[in-house]
Amino acid sequence: MNQISDLITAFLEQCERTPKHIAFSQDDRQISYQQFEQRTKKVAGYLTGSNQCIAIAMDRGIDAAIAIYGILRSGNSYLPLDINNPANRLNFIIADAHPVYIIGIGPCPENINIDSQETQWLDLRDLLISDFSYRNVQIKTDAIAAILYTSGSTGTPKGVALSHKAITNFATWAGTTFNISQSDHIASLAPFHFDLSIFDLFTSLSCGAIVSFIPNRLTLSPSKLTQWLCDNKITTWYTVPSLLSFIALKGSLETRPLSDLKQILFAGEVFPTPQLIKLTTLLPNVNLYNLYGPTETNVCCYWPVITKQLQADKNIPIGIPACNAVLTIDKTTHELLVESDNNFSGYWQNGKLNTVTFKPQGYATGDKVSINAKHEYCYHGRLDRMLKCSGYRVEPAEIESIINQLEGIETSVVIGLKDITSGQRPAAAVVIKKGHTLTHIIKPLRQKLPAYMFPCKFTELSAIPLLSNGKVDYLSIEKKLTH
Amino acid sequence: MKPKIREFIFQELIFVANPDQFSDDDDLLEAGLDSMGIMRLIMFIEDNFGVTLPDEEIDPDNVQTLNALEKWILRHKK
């Protein structure tokens, strides 16, 4: 195959090959490659300018996918907003990103404040009936395609900016490695602000596959979810371990073998090995892959699960380099450094791209790793305090900064408690000002933090315990929160 | 049974500012009960009350409130 370096060329070439083939399916609605292509052209025709940030305020689905491809075709970058975020976080991201447009369906919802003159709300339905003509836009390979906001260690979210080249490199690798073709039927569950969605949106449409959106309500009904995977003849699914654990334990897989399913890819957190063993036993003919990498590098390492190698009391490796990444381990800190064409271009801050200078060996992940006897990389936790909660990365500093803004709080420390199913749960130790009570103070917090960031436990301390060197004694805080 | 389940939910699964004021008809899912929480809750119920809750019936409707949860358990308790 010739070298394609932007997302739109790959998509348009596929549209020429299979115009009548279904691209996306959502509940009872289906859209062919040709119909999808025409709608994205309408959106692109309306959007003027180039290399600007355009936000999307829609739930994942066909309409949001139309908006994303339309934005990319117009030569701009898409920023998917998490519309379920509390208003303060949502509006922080909008104020930080300075999008020229926010595309939604219908009028602008009440929880979104557009203060600035430079941002305009657009209703996707108006764009689709507009008759602006689309002029072909040449997309530069290093132009920013996506801006994905993640939790930031400085206390506020930050936008990871990914170029067309970076996303294309991953999408092409995944298409080849997992042998995605026109006969594939991909299940999509990841919200578009989550980097797992890059596979669902771009690997899929460059290979001619069908993408079916899993209805949101099924995530709480494991048995109905596996029935849905069966009914929709799903061949490939990229998701998070916590949901796969739920399915392995409660998804009725004993009576529902999922005969069309070829492979499951998972990422976002460590898959607890006992649950993974259970899943491999229930789905013996399905290939499983552990994909690893922060949003900044996308997937840089992967491990095809070898059932024989699984031991209940040992974590699985993150495997071997992916996407032609060159991996280095720092000799003193054991930190993993990643040099890859997938690497992000910088952080989007205050309405513009702040390019980053990488170390000579690439992006420093903050993850501690080692290499085992089989030459596979193994993950050993973080060098800093970052947590993994329901597949999301969560910076304790972001939660602390929100807690500290509450009336009556002196200070707080957030740590992660290991969850038995997978990943971690944030928990908070707080010091309260005189005359206040914990239950009273915490009440407004629910409206300020996304559900996956909300501490599962609180404990009240008279002071934050410190070590003799003056640093916070996280271990003693953890003990207080677990007892 | 309900007080024990209540205690487990509010000590282990979700934090609410004032559990005493959380009624049996208040929405647990809105209060933060998610898929992992539901899984742990079902394991807790099965281990402690000698009941098996069928996989096919795990659904938001059956875990939305403490009252719904109790009804669901009682349907399977011999």
Question: pLDDT tens-digit profile of A418-470?
Answer: 876 667 889 999 999 999 988 888 888 988 998 889 998 899 999 999 988 88
Asked if A393 reaches chain B (Cβ–Cβ under 8 Å), the answer is no
* Per-residue tokens: B35: 């898929």
B15 vs A390, A421, A456: nearest CB: A456
Asked if A230 reaches chain B (Cβ–Cβ under 8 Å), the answer is no
Alpha carbon of B61: minimum distance to chain A alpha carbons (Å): 10
Question: pLDDT tens-digit profile of A162-205?
Answer: 999 999 999 999 999 999 999 999 999 999 999 999 999 999 99
Question: pLDDT tens-digit profile of A59-78?
Answer: 999 999 999 999 999 999 99
Alpha carbon of B34: minimum distance to chain A alpha carbons (Å): 7
Question: pLDDT tens-digit profile of A4-46?
Answer: 789 999 999 999 999 999 999 999 999 999 999 999 999 999 9
* Per-residue tokens: A49: 């300018």
Mean pLDDT of chain A: 94
- Beta-bridged to residue A459, according to DSSP, are A429
Residues A17, A406: Cα–Cα separation, whole Å: 57
Quick one: average pLDDT of B58-71?
A: 95
Q: Domain boundaries in chain A?
A: 1-163, 388-482
A1 pLDDT band (50/70/90 cuts)?
Answer: very low
Residues B78, B75: Cα–Cα separation, whole Å: 8
Question: pLDDT tens-digit profile of B5-31?
Answer: 999 999 888 888 788 889 999 999 988
Answer yes or no: do B38 and A442 touch at CB < 8 A: no
DSSP state of B58: -
Asked if A390 reaches chain B (Cβ–Cβ under 8 Å), the answer is yes
B18 vs A245, A420, A439: nearest CB: A439
CATH of the domain spanning A1-163, picked from 3.40.50.970, 3.40.50.300, 3.40.50.980, 3.40.50.1970: 3.40.50.980
For chain B, positions 22-61, list CB contacts with chain A under 8 A.
29, 31-32, 34-36, 38-40, 42, 55-60
The owner of tokens 């690439």 is A362
Residues A56, A124: Cα–Cα separation, whole Å: 10
Phi, psi of A360 (to 5 degrees): -55, -30
Quick one: average pLDDT of A97-126?
A: 93
A244 with A275: CB under 8 angstroms? Answer: yes
Residues of chain A with pLDDT > 90: what percent? 81
CATH superfamily of A388-482: ANL, C-terminal domain (3.30.300.30)
Residues B32, A321: Cα–Cα separation, whole Å: 37
Quick one: average pLDDT of A394-422?
A: 90
Answer yes or no: do A250 and B42 touch at CB < 8 A: yes
Residues of A with Cβ-Cβ distance to B55 under 8 angstroms:
222-223, 250-252
Answer yes or no: do B35 and A220 touch at CB < 8 A: yes
B35 vs A242, A438, A454: nearest CB: A242
Q: Residue B5's Cα: distance from chain center in Å?
A: 6
B56 vs A219, A252, A458: nearest CB: A252
Question: pLDDT tens-digit profile of A238-265?
Answer: 999 989 999 999 999 999 989 999 999 9
Q: Domain boundaries in chain B?
A: 2-9+24-76
Topology adopted by domain B2-9+24-76: 1.10.1200
